[in-house]
């Protein structure tokens, strides 16, 4: 019999795309004679017993091994029963590790196929959102206002940057823009739908204390105009006039934690997604 006919075939059966099992199979195969490699046949997105029976019937026709990553116990049971009936060796890639986790965590698994891929996608979305928030923080580039899902506007020290970063960790694309009476806001601010803009306001006296603390932290004169109540009232009045002109939502951040304000914004933007 030729070598091609006796070459082992490894069927990789998965309820997701099968990458995990394929990686393990290749790692093991590399420890054996490379002159007689195994053939890999990936069978992804298996969701019912009939698919498993069809694969096992095919596997019985060749010199085979079945490696699998199936999170649903009933599918694993069917596969093992079919393999035992046909004397096909199997390797459960995830089962033993899931059992070990269960003994330590004392909690059942989600049993959701493809969950790790979704978690990876959420991770990369979060990283992209954080990078976006950094790039378009403090009005650095007005073009970001057109790309953002939410634009935060307000005078200095109204928690625009902390809110942007918190919302970015919820995978929201956020840009923020400081409002200063002497500086005309970029025209892009008037191009975007008002429902994407959220104005942040704060009690003037509380803002004065925050600004004084900020000046002290920087080693600057706490009596500077930046922290004077007259200047703060002037800035606040200007910001409110602009917000009314835009017709945007206004959130009062006085005495509120960043998390509290961020969750209210999420309720508006995503219907309360956490």
Judged by DSSP in three states, 267 sits in helix
Q: What number of other Cβ atoms are within 10 A of residue 125's Cβ?
A: 15
Walk along the chain (274 residues) and give the pLDDT tens digit of each residue: 444 456 789 999 998 888 888 889 988 888 876 656 789 999 988 889 999 999 999 999 999 999 998 888 889 999 999 999 999 999 999 888 888 887 888 666 665 665 655 656 777 788 888 999 999 999 999 999 999 999 999 999 999 999 999 999 898 999 999 999 999 999 999 999 999 999 999 999 999 999 999 899 999 888 889 999 999 999 999 999 999 999 999 999 999 999 999 999 999 988 745 4
Task: Determine the Cα–Cα distance for residues 115 and 8; give it in Å rounded to an integer.
Answer: 30
| Whether the Cβ atoms of residue 188 and residue 146 lie closer than 8 Å to each other | yes
What is the model's pTM? 0.61
Closest Cα to residue 267, out of 246, 251, 244?
A: 251
How many whole angstroms separate alpha carbon 62 and alpha carbon 5? 8
| CA-wise closest residue to 20 among 120, 104, 101, 107 | 120
Closest-CA residue to 59 (of 35, 77, 42)? 42
What are the structural domains of the chain?
3-113 (3.40.50), 118-270 (3.40.50)
Residues contacting 245, CB < 8 A, separation 6+: none
Q: Judging by beta carbons within 10 Å of its beta carbon (0-12, 13-18, 19+), is residue 147 exposed, middle or buried? A: middle
CA distance 144 to 163: 16
First to last CA, the chain: 61
Q: Which of 19, 63, 16 is nearest to 44 (CA)?
A: 16
Q: What distance in Å separates the CA atoms of residue 95 and residue 269, rounded to the nearest whole number?
A: 40
Helix axis angle for 229-246 and 204-217, nearest 10°, is 120
Q: What is the Cα 137 distance to its own chain's centre?
A: 20
Beta strands in the chain (DSSP E): 9-14, 39-43, 64-69, 90-92, 150-154, 174-178, 197-201, 249-252
């Amino acid at each position: 019999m030729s070598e091609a006919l006796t070459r082992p075939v490894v069927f990789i059966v998965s309820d997701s795309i099968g990458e995990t099992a394929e990686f393990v199979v290749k790692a093991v195969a590399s420890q054996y004679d490379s002159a007689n490699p195994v053939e890999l046949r990936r069978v992804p997105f298996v969701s019912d017993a009939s698919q498993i029976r069809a694969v096992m019937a095919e596997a019985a026709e060749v010199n085979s091994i079945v490696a699998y990553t199936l999170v649903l116990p009933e599918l694993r049971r069917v596969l093992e029963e079919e393999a035992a009936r046909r004397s096909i060796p199997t390797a459960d890639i995830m089962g033993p590790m899931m059992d070990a986790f269960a003994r330590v965590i004392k909690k059942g698994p989600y049993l959701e196929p493809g969950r790790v891929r979704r978690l990876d996608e959420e991770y990369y979305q979060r990283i992209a959102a954080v990078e976006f928030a950094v790039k378009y923080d403090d009005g650095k580039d007005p073009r970001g206002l057109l790309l953002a899902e939410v634009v935060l506007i307000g005078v200095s020290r109204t928690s625009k940057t902390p809110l942007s970063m918190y919302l970015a960790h919820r995978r929201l694309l956020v840009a923020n823009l400081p409002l200063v009476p002497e500086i005309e806001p970029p025209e892009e601010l008037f191009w975007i739908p008002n429902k994407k803009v959220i104005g942040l306001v704060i009690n003037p006296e509380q803002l004065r204390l925050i600004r004084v603390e900020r000046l002290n932290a920087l080693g600057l004169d706490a009596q500077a105009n930046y922290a004077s109540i007259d200047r703060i009232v002037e800035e606040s009045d200007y910001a409110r006039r602009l917000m009314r002109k835009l017709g945007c939502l206004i959130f009062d951040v006085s005495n509120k934690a960043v998390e509290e304000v961020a969750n209210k914004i999420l309720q508006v933007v995503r219907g309360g997604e956490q």
